[in-house]
Amino acid sequence: MNFTQLRCFIKAVDNSSFTIAAERLNFSQSAVSKNIKDLENTIGVTLINRAHHRISLTNAGKYFYHVARNVVDDMDYTVAYLQSQKNDPETLLRIGVCDTPLEQKILPIFLRKLRESGSNLNVQFIFVLNNSIGELLNHHVDLCAIARDDVEVVADVKFKPLIQGQFVLACPKGSPLAEKELITLKDLKNTNIFLLDPNSSLNVQMRYQDILINNMGMDHIKFVQDFLAMDIYVKAGWGYGVLPNFIVDGSAKDVSYIPIDYHDISPYGIAYMESFTNESVLNQVVKILRETIKEYSPVKK
């Protein structure tokens, strides 16, 4: 088994085609087919079903794909890091992000400030929405922007806060609740509320969502898959959304974010492995991010 075989297998699966995989790898189609067949012979199981010019994974193939993907990604990240250290005076830093509206707003400002400071960091952002901790533990990222609740149970992960967490209510402009300074449970009675899907919610959000459900019942509550879907419904005037302040773009013109009368929640910040020893880089990143967030002030208390 070798990396060429693994890459051929992964490319074929990703593109559902030996032909496209060959084009992407600059191989012949026969070379891709042979590498995958040799891989199957080495393992002793069939990974790919080949029928009617279409390919699909066997159960063994589905399991092996995830393992192979992690192995190849780990090697690619390692090689990129070592090459950057050898051939480039800049230091590569991989930061995991969830691509929230807040991050979309502050990260370009952060990069500009970083460059203006004379930093030699070469920052690479990696999307880690569904597996933030896994990406950190597997060393696919060096730092990760995340809520503390999601990392505090992992002993080897450290955390530096950036924003004190707070629940806010996303309100369509011109709606009755958009004029309030603080939202209470009483305000939310008999009001259509959108909540984030429990499968994609933070632990701390789940606790407050349970409080809402217990007080309001389910007649006026609907779940959405992510903050983008919630934003669409709120802007359309279909109801209000409940979410943490460290997700939202507080400068949006057609939505107001009003603080909810609930105790402070898990802060949002930068998580990193205890083995990350470049203290000066960590402090530089955290310092500039804090300055950026302070200037931006997404939601005022």
Q: Which residues pair with 161 in a beta bridge?
A: 269
- Tens of pLDDT, residue by residue over 151-164, are 776 778 899 999 99
- Mean pLDDT of the residues in the chain: 85
- Tens of pLDDT, residue by residue over 42-100, are 999 999 888 766 788 888 988 899 888 888 887 877 777 666 655 554 578 899 998 88
**What pLDDT is recorded for position 285?**
94
- Tens of pLDDT, residue by residue over 172-227, are 988 999 999 999 999 998 899 999 887 665 666 777 888 888 888 888 999 988 88
Going by pLDDT thresholds of 50, 70 and 90, the confidence category of residue 148 is confident
Q: Which residues pair with 56 in a beta bridge?
A: 49
> What pTM does this model have?
0.65
Retrieve residue 278's tokens.
Answer: 């470049």
**Distance between CA atoms of 84 and 229, rounded to whole angstroms?**
38
- Tens of pLDDT, residue by residue over 267-292, are 999 999 988 888 889 999 999 999 99
**What pLDDT is recorded for position 8?**
92
DSSP string, 43-56: HTS--EEEETTEEE
Closest CA to 142 of 72, 68, 78: 78
Pairing of strands 193-196, 143-147: unpaired
Q: Within 10 A of 145 (CB to CB), how many other CB atoms are there?
A: 24
Closest CA to 248 of 262, 260, 263: 260
